[in-house]
Amino acid sequence: MSGTKVAIIGSGNIGTDLMIKVLRTSETLEVAALAGIDPGSDGLARARRLGVATTHEGVEGLVDLDGFADVEIVLDATSAKAHEHNAAVLAPYGKRLVDLTPAAIGPYVVPPVNLDDHLDEPDLNMVTCGGQATVPIVAAVSRVTPVRYAEIVASIASRSAGPGTRANIDEFTETTARALEVVGGAARGKAIIVLNPAEPPLIMRDTVYCVVGDCDEEAVRTSVEKMVAEVAAYVPGYRLKQRVQLRPVEPGDPLAALGDGPGRLVSVFLEVEGAAHYLPAYAGNLDIMTSAALRVAERLAAR
Model pLDDT for residues 146-163, shown as the tens digit of each residue: 999 999 999 999 998 877
Do 121 and 146 fall into the same domain? no
78, 145: one domain: no
Confidence of residue 70 (pLDDT cuts 50, 70, 90): very high
E strand spans, 77-226: 96-99, 123-125, 147-157, 189-196, 204-212
Q: Which pLDDT does position 152 carry in this prediction?
A: 97
Residues assigned a catalytic role: 129
Crossing angle of the two packed helices 129-142 and 284-302, in degrees rounded to 10: 70
pLDDT of residue 261: 76
Q: What is the pLDDT of residue 218?
A: 98
pLDDT for the residue numbered 102: 87
State the CATH number of the domain containing residue 246. Answer: 3.30.360.10
Predicted confidence band of residue 253 (pLDDT cuts 50, 70, 90): confident
Q: Based on the domain organization, do 144 and 265 belong to the same domain?
A: yes
Candidates 150, 104, 105; CA nearest to 128 is: 104
Q: What is the pLDDT of residue 255?
A: 80
Does 136 lie in the same domain as 122? no
The answer to whether 13 is a known ligand-binding residue is yes
Q: Is the pLDDT of residue 4 over 60?
A: yes
Same-domain pairing of 150 and 272: yes
pTM beyond 0.75: yes
Is 203 one of the annotated binding-site residues? no
The β-bridge relationship of strands 189-196 and 123-125 is unpaired
Residue 166 marked ligand-binding: yes
CA 219: distance to chain centroid? 26
Q: Kindly report which listed range (51-55, 123-127, 261-265) carries the lowest average pLDDT score.
A: 261-265
Sign (positive/negative) of CA torsion 71, 72, 75, 79? positive
Does the annotation flag 168 for ligand binding?
Answer: yes
In this structure, the answer to whether residues 175 and 294 fall within a common structural domain is no
Q: Do 148 and 8 fall within a single domain?
A: no
14 in a labelled binding site? yes
Mean pLDDT, rounded, of the chain = 95
164 is in an annotated binding site: yes
- Are residues 105 and 29 both part of a single domain? yes
Question: What is the C-alpha to C-alpha distance for residues 132 and 156, in angstroms, rounded to an integer?
Answer: 14
Residue 28 known to bind ligand: no
pLDDT at 250: 84
Residues 116 and 135 in one domain: no
Same domain? 101 vs 140 = no
Q: What is the CATH number of the domain that holds 21?
A: 3.40.50.720
Output the DSSP codes for 53-81: EEESSHHHHHHHSTTGGG--EEEE-S-HH
Nearest to 200 by CA among 172, 158, 234: 158
Range of the domain at 42: 4-126+286-302
Shared domain for 79 and 151, answered yes or no, is no
The answer to the question of whether 86 is labelled as a binding residue is no
Average pLDDT over residues 17-43: 97
pLDDT tens for each residue of 196-221: 999 999 999 999 999 999 999 999 99
Give the tens place of pLDDT for each residue, 127-149. 999 999 999 999 999 999 999 99
pLDDT tops 60 at residue 1: no
